[in-house]
Structure 1
Amino acid sequence: MTFISRHLLAAPAFALLLAAAAPAFADPGDKALDDVRILSADDMQGRAPGTPGSEKARAYILSRFAQIGLSPIGETFEQPFSFAKRDGTAVKGINLIARIKGTDAGGKAMVVSAHYDHLGVRDGQIYNGADDNASGVAGLLAVAEAFKEKAPKHDVIFAVVDAEEGGLRGARAFVANPPVPLETIALNVNFDMLSKNAKNELYVAGTAPFPGLKPILVKVATTAKVTLKLGHDTDADGKENNWSNQSDHYAFGEKGVPWVYFGVEDHPEYHKPTDDFASVPQDFFKRSVATVVQASLALERDLGTATGR
């Protein structure tokens, strides 16, 4: 989650080796845990944009794209962009974009997004970002595996975006230069912080601004493996508790694309060096991943009617 709130075609060769060497997991939640462990390890150096740690994280994610069998849109998975930091320093960010084609020729698409960057190294301490947002990337990869196992009706685009922290740079680069016409994107499903909540609660925001999504998500909540709560999408409890602009879905919303956002409330490790794999409650996270997979499948089934696009 950003501060305002709270190729395989061009991949390095060792990414292919990672994919080939990856162990088999009977439980998708176990694989998601492994994704979080690897992406939040010290050798990723906090995954700050434009750093060797960010490059290493991309190589791992691309290896997972290969393992799942995802395809790029065009010649490469990589969508580079540039931005300037507050001190004027130019930084190159890189989004990773993949797609599973739908079985129907309706032209609509659903974008599943999660940012892979975090805060890097500050004052000698590594900000590993296990919850923020290795957990969201792991959730996205689990959703991709589910759609690869059973093809969706509509195209599903997977956007693992860079430089969310402090400005939603990757998401804004995506919507400024979308791989498909923006008007064909019926919904953005965004994951940011899925792994830590002492009350067994996962929130989904977006049903207040997009009420057509509410019946789908209420139904999911009745059988979800965690307590799935709707909210954090109005100013009723104060602007600070309205998550409508607090992660990458906001970039889609700015362009008129409906969105839903899955995440947990802030916790003591948020944006701290202690947000590492050791602090992830593994059982809750596995059930949270199962819930976002269930919800994503349900949202895709009713894509057009739910959003009116």
Structure 2
Amino acid sequence: MLSFQERILQKEDSLTASELKIIDQLKKHDKPFLLSMNELSLLSNVSEPSIIRLYRKLGYTSYQELKVTLAQELANQHSNLAANETAILEDDLADTVFTKIGDQFSAAMLMTKEKIKVEEMEKAVKLIAEAGRIFFFGQGLSGTIAEDGAHKFMRIGGTVLAEKDPHYQAIYASQMTENDVVIAISHSGETVNIIEVVHMAKSSGATVIMITSNENTTLAKMADILLLTQAQETATRSDAMTSRLVQLAFLDTLYTRVVAVGGETIKKAVNKSRLAVTKMKK
């Protein structure tokens, strides 16, 4: 698909003075994808029909399509720039490495934010709040993330379990019902054992919320609700290092929203959990 700039170059000879004004404003604005057609019209000092003629000339079916394209291209430019600026070098000292890892995490959070589908997140929140039992499945590093998720959600009461062993996962999955929710975590989206237990869980009637990094994977396609993380891979480390932080942020977000919308029962359970932990401290 041609970029915004490539489309402009293709039509360069046929662009009018008004259309060039519009293009100039879109290029100058920090966030052109947030401009309404009326705002762009006022900034460019042209009529709204001129904007319509421009986006059609450039091959867009609507003004909304033009804005979405600009947002995606700017996000890609940002991620590429961030990757170059935060690449960790062999002679970087510990303080520099620490700073760059923080920058990489910030970039990954911004990239993930661009991909978030609020409707899916809120749907996941409702399902978790109403679930009979909640199971967190993951293996390897993702299993550790699953354990962290269960540690958060057990505070809301009810049955909350985390499991890393595929045999235990299979046993749990085989005995699930439509009242159960599985939160499966796999960075690659192709972990063979997780694919198998997710299939079992769905066959048993459970709902599967999948946290992964690629929508074109086996697990992503099996999900009832798909939550995607985004991270830029670098030469010195796997992007899974940053993705795990984004996965934790996803789980924190879900937990915070579940407590917010879960009603008095969940709020009371959270307070009881806090008091119980407080008693263990001096």
Is TM (by shorter chain) over 0.5? no
Which one scores higher on RCO, CA 8 angstroms, separation ≥ 6?
A: 1
The normalised TM-score by structure 2 is 0.32
Higher helix proportion: 2
Higher strand proportion: 1
